[in-house]
Structure 1
Amino acid sequence: MKVRTPIKVRYQETDQMSVVYHANYLVWFEIGRTSFIEELGFEYQQMEKDGVVSPVIHADVHFIKPVRYGEEVFVDTWLESYNGIRTTYGYSIKKADDTEAVKGTTDHVIVQKDTFRPLSLKRKFPDWHQAYLKALESGVE
């Protein structure tokens, strides 16, 4: 399963070269990840209301082609891997002509918000666990 999210590049996201500042791609990854989760029928907000957060524990970003102010790009997001505790999301940021500009992954766990004690997604949110297993089975298309 892959979810595509459109992004219109805003002026404030660029540097003096009119190229998207590198840290903004991580923000776009988060937008794509949120869309992916919503497509499965869940919301981060509900997780946070339950006292749980999902920090990034590792990120890889590979810059292939520059993205510039005014362009429209798409963030394709999918599950790269999932084992009940750790989730790895894959991302590909593509230009309107489907040229890949940036690709990467982020690894996440879930923790108790107040103590940062690690939790099992499989035990804490069994519906999410099942949805993630189904998403993995369906592949990336």
Structure 2
Amino acid sequence: MMISIKEIDVRYSETDQMGVVYHANYLVWMELGRTQFIRDLGFNYAEMEKDGILSPVIDINVSYKKPLHYGETAKIQTWLDYYDGLRVVYGYEIITPDGSIALTGTSSHVCVKKENFKPISIRKQLPEWHAAYENAKKGKE
């Protein structure tokens, strides 16, 4: 299984009154991890959007394990948890500097046409992405 890694320096503005990363910021970091995963596959999400295809989040699940703080570096690990040609589920772990898990999660996506939000088949409409996802499931790059 292919796993992408993205490191993020925790900024002061991402913390709350308790001095820990505000929970919603982890969703942004998951997006950064997902974007890195797509980049590591050799694709560019912005280019897909220019071609009139979007990939909205249809479901998201997170479990917070341990806080991160200002000045620390978070390591986002992202992989393909599930793919069937239509729906994509990315898996995430966000790791603290001492190697502990700060968060585990998944986000589910479909691809849709920009003009009408009708779902499309990745297998049929984006055959290169389909092949790359199939290979990523098997651990090939």
Between the aligned partners of 2:18 and 2:5, the Cα distance in structure 1 is 27
Normalising by the residue count of structure 2, what TM-score does the alignment of the two structures yield? Answer: 0.97
Between the aligned partners of 2:97 and 2:69, the Cα distance in structure 1 is 12
Amino acid at match of 1:80: D
Question: What are the within-5 Å matches in structure 2 for residues 1-141 of structure 1?
Answer: 1-138=2-139
Between the aligned partners of 2:138 and 2:122, the Cα distance in structure 1 is 18
Between the aligned partners of 1:5 and 1:32, the Cα distance in structure 2 is 6
Amino acid at match of 1:119: I
Secondary structure of the residue that 1:17 maps to in structure 2? coil
Aligned positions, number: 139
CA RMSD for the aligned pairs?
0.9
Between the aligned partners of 1:124 and 1:26, the Cα distance in structure 2 is 28
Quick one: percent identity of the two aligned structures? 52
Secondary structure of the residue that 2:30 maps to in structure 1? helix
Structure 1: runs of 5+ lacking an equivalent: none
Normalising by the residue count of structure 1, what TM-score does the alignment of the two structures yield? Answer: 0.97
**Residues 54-103 of structure 1: CA distance to partner in whole angstroms, max 9, x if unpaired?**
00000001000011111101000000000000000000000122111111
Aligned-residue offset at 1:114 = 1.5
Amino acid at match of 1:18: G
Secondary structure of the residue that 1:19 maps to in structure 2? coil
Between the aligned partners of 1:5 and 1:42, the Cα distance in structure 2 is 16
Structure 1 segments of 4+ aligned residues over 6 angstroms from their partners:
none
Structure 2: runs of 5+ lacking an equivalent: none
Amino acid at match of 1:13: E
